[in-house]
Amino acid sequence: MQIRELKIPDSYEVTPKQFGDDRGVFLEWYRFDRLEETIGHPLRLAQGNTSVSKRGVVRGIHFADVPPSQAKYVTATHGAVLDFVIDIRVGSPTFGQWDSVLLDDVDRRAIYIAEGLGHCFVALTDDATVSYLVTSTFNAEREHGIDPLDPAVGLDFGMPADELLLSPKDTAAPSLAEAEASGLLPTWAAARAYYDELNKGA
């Protein structure tokens, strides 16, 4: 298993080693110990989610209040998605920037996204199946969104805008600037303080 930090601090691409033979393939897509070595504390998993999307579906940009927010470990078990991590932590040196990882059923990579970061993906195939391990249960009052088509963020979905399908909730979400102005976004300081707290309790 190879773990590579993305250009957004506190997010990582995970590439598993696959073992194939005439029966098929075996791999470890999640290893708590390897991830703990990287991020400084174990993930205390609270919920597992799965979404199935047709080509062009965009889910996100989603995030939750810090603390506790919700760290995510995400992989695609069928099909392919382009998965984005967006730095929405006000005061971060990479605020407003993003990075992406192709998650598919070929390389079978995963992405780790720390608390306080924004998450979004676009389905590149029909029946794209994404599984998420998360560190807190869903709490609608603490969950928020940013418009994934916000030109100031500039996510590159790799397909024309008229082929994208968003939920009404995501379409109605504020821009990054609007979310910042309203005080909706987490701060770099609050996120760092929470990461330090998690590391001390490791």
Q: Would you name the residues annotated as active-site residues?
A: 62, 132
Phi, then psi, of 190 in degrees rounded to 5: -65, -40
Within 10 A of 134 (CB to CB), how many other CB atoms are there? 20
- 98 forms beta bridges with 86
Report CA Rg, the chain: 16
Distances (CA, A) of 86 to 81, 144, 197: 16, 14, 23
**Which residues, including other chains, have CB under 8 Å from residue 172's CB and lie 6 or more apart?**
none
Give 33-38 contacts, CB < 8 A, sequence gap 24+.
34/1, 34/3, 35/3, 35/73, 35/112, 36/202, 38/3, 38/12, 38/112
Within 10 A of 34 (CB to CB), how many other CB atoms are there? 13
Which stretches within the chain are classed as H helix?
A: 32-39, 168-171, 176-181, 188-200
